[in-house]
C-alpha cells in the first residue's frame, strides 16, 4: 500500500463527464494514483491549489505523429511531449508511420520504446501498423504493448507504410480477432480523383477538389463491411473523419450494434475551407478540411454522439516539404511555393486543441463535461486505458489539467513547443488558458513560473505505456 503523499485541490473540480464541477481535494499516493477524493476545497498543505480555475482529467490525445526514430527533423519525443504538457495533454499515443522504421514489427516497437528514453514529459504509448505481409507480427506486438493497429486503404504518403487490400485486411483481422485487437482505418480510397492540372495549385480549392468526400464514403462502406464480418471480435475505428457525407453510413452501422468508433480532429471542427488563404500549405491535410456546411454537420455529429472523440492528428514536417512561402529560398528546384497539391499533408497542433475545441464548441452548445468525454474519457477507452486514464477516480492515474476556460488566449509563437512551428493556429485568438499539467501526481508544466525555461519540470515524468497497462 503506497503512502499518501500529495493533495490537489480546487473549488471547481470536474471528475468525469457525468459530474458537475465542484469543490474537491484529491489525494495522490506515491505511485501517482488517486488514493482518495474528498468533496471539499482544502488548500492548506496542498501541493497545488487550483482555486477557481477548472481542474479536470488530463487530455488523452490518441492520434499524434512523433516521427521518432527516423524523422526527428520533423518532430521528436521531447518537443512533442513538451507541446502536449503545455496544453494539458497528459497522454499521447503515437502513430506507427512517419517514423523509420514504421512500427510494424516487435523489433520496430522496441526500437521506438528505447528511442523515447530521450525524455517523455507526458505518458506515451503507440499504435502498431498493419501493412502487407505482417499479419503474423500483430499478436506479438499487441502482447508487447501496442494499443491496437492502424492501416491505410490508400497511399499513406510514405513508402515504408504501404496500404492493404481487402485480402490482406482479412488476414490481419483474423489474427486480431483472436485477441480482440482494435483496428484503426485511414478511411480514404482512391476513386480516380486527381488535381486538375489546369487549375492553380496555390489555390486551396484545387487540392480540395482532388480529395472529394466520395473517397471517404467509399472507404467507410468497406470499413463497415469488414467490421460486420468480424464483429464483435475486432473493434474498428475510423481516424480523422472529415466528410459529413459518410455520417449516415456510420449512424446506420452504430444502430446495427457494430463495434465501430469514430474520431474527428480539432481542425475539421474549427476551420472551414472558405477560410484557407492561397499558398497557406500549413492548412493541408488528408482528408482535407472541407466547407462550412460540412463543418456544421460534423458538429451536429459531435453533439449527438455519432462522433465519439476528438484528437489532434498532429503531423508536422519541415517547412521546405510544406513548400511554404516562409522558406521560398530553400525549395528544391522546380517546386512551386505554396503548392497545395505537392506539399506534405499534415497539420501541427498537439497541445493546442483544448482551447480551440472549447471556443468553437461553447457557442454551439458543448458543455465542459462533453469536452472531458470527447478528449479524455473516450480517447482513453479507445487506447485501452479506461482503467488508468481519462477520468479522475480512486485507483486511476493522477493526470490533471488546471485551466481557465473563460480566459482570453492568443496562440503566439512562444506558446508553440513542437519542433516545426508552422500551424494554421498561429496568432489565432481563443478562450481557454492552461495553467498547470499534472502527470501521475507530478506537475510537469506550470505557466505561473515567470521564467519560461522553468515552466516545464526539470525531470521528464512521462512513462512508456507498455504491456503492463
Site for Zn ion, rule CB under 5 A? 313
| Closest to Zn ion by CB, 127 or 230 | 127
| Closest to Zn ion by CB, 313 or 399 | 313
| Closest to Zn ion by CB, 161 or 456 | 161
Q: Where are the alpha helices (DSSP H) in 7-146?
A: 77-86, 106-115, 135-144
- Minimum Å gap between C-beta 49 and Zn ion is 38
| Closest to Zn ion by CB, 56 or 151 | 151
| Closest to Zn ion by CB, 97 or 433 | 97
Distance between CA atoms of residues 319 and 74, nearest Å:
9
Listed residue (175, 268, 260, 182) closest to 222, CA to CA: 260
- Minimum Å gap between C-beta 95 and Zn ion is 5
Listed residue (32, 184, 216) closest to 94, CA to CA: 184
- Minimum Å gap between C-beta 268 and Zn ion is 13
Asked if 336 and 202 count as a contact pair (C-beta separation under 8 A), the reply is: yes
Side by side, which strands form the sheet with 128-129?
128-129, 149-152, 183-186, 236-238, 260-265, 309-311
Is the four-CA dihedral 22, 25, 30, 36 of positive or negative sign?
negative
- Minimum Å gap between C-beta 65 and Zn ion is 6
| Closest to Zn ion by CB, 14 or 352 | 352
Name the closest residue to Zn ion (Cβ).
313
Distance between CA atoms of residues 163 and 179, nearest Å:
23
- Minimum Å gap between C-beta 148 and Zn ion is 14
CA-to-CA dists, residue 433 to 64, 148, 402, 403, angstroms: 21, 32, 9, 5
- Minimum Å gap between C-beta 158 and Zn ion is 11
| Closest to Zn ion by CB, 345 or 441 | 345
Listed residue (367, 373, 370) closest to 386, CA to CA: 373
- Minimum Å gap between C-beta 103 and Zn ion is 13
| Closest to Zn ion by CB, 94 or 313 | 313
* DSSP structure string for 54-81: EEEEPEEEEEE---TTT-TTT--HHHHH
- Minimum Å gap between C-beta 314 and Zn ion is 8
Amino acid at each position: 500500500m503506497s503512502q499518501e503523499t500529495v493533495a490537489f485541490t480546487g473549488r471547481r473540480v470536474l471528475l468525469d463527464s457525468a459530474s458537475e464541477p465542484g469543490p474537491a481535494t484529491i489525494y495522490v499516493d506515491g505511485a501517482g494514483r488517486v488514493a482518495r477524493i474528498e468533496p471539499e476545497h482544502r488548500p492548506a498543505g496542498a501541493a497545488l491549489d487550483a482555486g477557481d480555475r477548472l481542474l479536470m482529467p488530463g487530455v488523452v490525445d490518441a492520434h499524434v505523429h512523433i516521427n521518432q526514430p527516423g524523422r526527428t527533423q520533423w518532430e521528436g519525443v521531447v518537443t512533442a511531449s513538451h507541446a502536449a504538457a503545455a496544453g494539458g495533454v497528459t497522454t499521447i499515443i503515437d502513430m506507427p508511420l512517419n517514423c523509420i522504421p514504421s512500427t510494424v514489427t516487435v523489433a520496430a516497437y522496441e526500437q521506438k520504446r528505447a528511442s523515447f528514453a530521450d525524455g517523455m514529459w507526458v505518458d506515451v504509448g503507440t499504435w502498431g501498423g498493419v501493412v502487407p505481409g505482417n499479419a503474423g507480427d500483430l499478436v506479438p506486438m499487441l502482447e508487447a504493448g501496442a494499443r491496437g493497429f492502424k492501416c491505410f486503404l490508400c497511399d499513406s504518403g510514405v513508402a515504408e507504410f504501404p496500404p492493404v487490400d481487402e485480402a490482406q485486411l482479412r488476414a490481419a483481422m483474423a489474427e486480431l480477432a483472436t485477441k480482440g485487437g482494435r483496428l484503426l482505418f485511414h478511411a480514404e480510397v482512391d476513386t480516380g480523383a486527381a488535381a486538375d492540372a489546369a487549375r492553380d495549385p496555390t489555390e486551396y480549392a484545387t487540392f480540395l477538389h482532388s480529395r472529394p468526400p466520395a473517397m471517404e464514403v467509399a472507404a467507410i462502406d468497406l470499413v463497415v463491411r469488414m467490421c460486420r464480418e468480424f464483429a464483435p471480435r475486432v473493434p474498428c475505428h475510423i481516424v480523422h473523419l472529415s466528410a459529413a457525407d459518410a455520417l449516415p453510413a456510420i449512424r446506420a452501422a452504430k444502430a446495427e450494434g457494430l463495434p465501430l468508433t469514430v474520431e474527428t480532429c480539432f481542425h475539421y471542427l474549427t476551420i472551414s475551407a472558405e477560410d484557407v488563404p492561397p499558398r497557406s500549405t500549413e492548412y493541408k491535410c488528408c482528408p482535407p478540411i472541407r466547407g462550412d456546411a460540412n463543418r456544421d454537420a460534423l458538429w451536429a455529429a459531435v453533439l449527438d454522439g455519432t462522433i465519439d472523440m476528438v484528437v489532434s492528428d498532429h503531423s508536422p514536417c519541415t517547412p521546405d516539404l510544406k513548400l511554404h512561402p516562409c522558406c521560398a529560398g530553400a525549395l528544391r528546384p522546380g517546386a512551386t511555393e505554396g503548392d497545395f497539391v505537392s506539399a506534405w499533408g499534415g497539420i501541427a497542433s498537439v497541445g493546442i486543441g483544448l482551447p480551440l475545441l472549447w471556443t468553437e464548441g461553447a457557442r454551439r452548445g458543448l458543455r465542459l463535461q462533453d469536452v472531458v468525454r470527447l478528449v479524455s474519457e473516450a480517447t482513453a477507452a479507445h487506447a485501452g486505458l479506461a482503467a488508468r486514464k481519462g477520468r479522475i477516480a480512486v485507483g486511476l492515474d493522477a493526470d490533471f489539467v488546471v485551466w481557465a476556460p473563460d480566459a482570453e488566449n492568443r496562440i503566439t509563437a512562444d506558446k508553440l513547443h513542437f519542433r516545426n512551428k508552422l500551424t494554421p493556429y498561429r496568432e489565432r485568438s481563443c478562450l481557454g488558458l492552461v495553467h498547470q499539467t499534472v502527470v501521475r501526481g507530478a506537475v510537469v508544466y506550470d505557466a505561473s513560473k515567470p521564467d519560461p525555461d522553468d515552466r516545464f519540470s526539470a525531470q521528464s515524468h512521462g512513462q512508456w505505456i507498455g504491456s503492463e497497462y
